Amino acid sequence: MTSQNLPLPLYAPPVVGEQCSVIGSRILAYNEDDQTVPVVFQRKYTVIKVLNYSRGPGCASTVSLCAWHTPASLNPSLPPLNKRPRYGEGNQIVVVKSRLNGGLQRDETKLTELKTLRDMPLHDNVIALYDFFFTFYEPPQLHLVLGNMEGNLYQLIRTRRGRALAGGLVSSITHQIALGLNHIHEHNYFHFNLCPENILVTSTGLYDYAEVPVSPNSNLSPASSKQKDVLVTIKISGFNLACRKGSKAPDMHAGFSWYSSPEVLLGDTDYSTPVDMWAFGAIIGEALRLQPMFPGHEGPLQVVRIAEMLGAPPKFSRYDMNGQPADGGQWPVGNILAARAGITFPKIQAQPLSSLFAPTTPASLILMTRKLLMYDPQNRLTSKQCLEHAYFRETEPYRTIPPDYQVAS
């Protein structure tokens, strides 16, 4: 077998420009004895760029930008693959995510990311799975062929260099994330690994956003309050830890503890969609501040960092002058979980959330963020409640692009 007939290597980064002709299979068919039979396919693609390469004990993964040379017919309703002239005329561009694991299951139904993406119907704000296949050379690998996006929210925030996102752009980004989360939750999954790196972004041009007022009653002159910024499409990705509601979720993934909810950090195992809503609140705060809301420790000690901002869970609920929560709220179970983990909440009073954001931040967005960052999972807004929130109603005119608008590049 020639090197070009080998699957994408995982023990070393793939070679840019390498043309891969891979014999793969899907386990979709059954024989007369009710045993699974692999259905064999050939896949051809060219590696354009290695986007990510990681390896650890017994496992490794690569994420590569590729020119795809094989028809992808997993679902006839899939949107057309992107064609980007900079990578060659007519090339269809995809991302090939390949994973090796010493205990890799060949049964597709036992592979979390693959099963989740296959179970859920297509949605504009969830990454699309165009194809998948297994290769059983040594070592065995699973390959997911995903839609291509320019980058992620983490990268977008980094490129700002202190320049705040336009108010209409914040509304657009957060509304698209909420739509994607609501789709995931409505189909009985929760993501469990929501973070800026898993919020994929593609810019589609520039737009003069009207400045979003602090409150609906603010007096702003739209003609003199324009903010030129990017138009973006958002898609949620990274479903390797996704769980079905009611199923046993995996242990906390320490690498993303800045976005993990308090109950996860303290070792609770009874959690569901509210873990995503906490992460959503942390992501909104980061989009506004251009820096993480809770940078700090790994694991249970991260709760101390959260308490430094939200205050310790109080014995009695506290409200501000408008009758809204003044801190992270009561959480009796949290004190029990903290004691088990050997953690003591610092006796610190909560910072006003408004003090963390620019004075021009809409009051309704601050309130929505506050109601996402509640200690008690049962008190957090759901994705549906977010979509119905006053913030999205008030800012709809500021994020909606006129249908006849000619996108500027």
What is the C-alpha separation between 144 and 273, in angstroms, rounded?
25
- Local structure of residue 215 (DSSP, 8 states): S
Q: Are residues 314 and 261 in the same domain?
A: yes
Q: Are residues 124 and 176 in the same domain?
A: no
| pLDDT per residue as tens digits for the range 25-70 | 665 444 455 555 556 677 888 899 888 887 765 567 889 999 988 8
The answer to whether residues 395 and 171 touch, using CB atoms and an 8 Å cutoff, is yes
Q: Mean pLDDT throughout 177-202?
A: 96
| pLDDT per residue as tens digits for the range 102-161 | 555 555 555 889 999 999 999 999 999 998 888 776 667 888 999 999 999 999 999 999
Domain count across the chain:
2
Please, which residues bridge with residue 152 across strands?
A: 200
Tokens of 276: 């995503």
Does position 76 have pLDDT exceeding 50, yes or no?
yes
CATH number at residue 337: 1.10.510.10
Q: Is 1 helix (H, G, I), strand (E, B) or coil?
A: coil
pLDDT for 269 equals 82
- Answer yes or no: is 407 within a domain: no
Residue with tokens 């949290």: 334
Does position 257 have pLDDT exceeding 50, yes or no?
yes
Q: Are residues 49 and 190 in the same domain?
A: no
Boundary residue ending a domain (114, 146, 178): 146
Counting residues of the chain whose pLDDT is more than 70, the rounded percentage is 78
Element (DSSP H or E) covering residue 302:
helix 302-310
Element (DSSP H or E) covering residue 7:
none
> Half-sphere exposure of residue 235, counting CA atoms within 13 Å on the CB side?
21
Which residues form the domain of 42?
14-146
| pLDDT per residue as tens digits for the range 288-335 | 999 999 998 777 788 989 999 999 998 877 878 777 787 889 999 998
* 330-333 long-range contacts, CB within 8 A, separation 24+: 330/375, 330/376, 331/262, 331/375, 331/376, 333/263, 333/268, 333/376
Task: State phi, psi for 117 to the nearest 5 degrees.
Answer: -65, -30
- Answer yes or no: is 404 within a domain: no
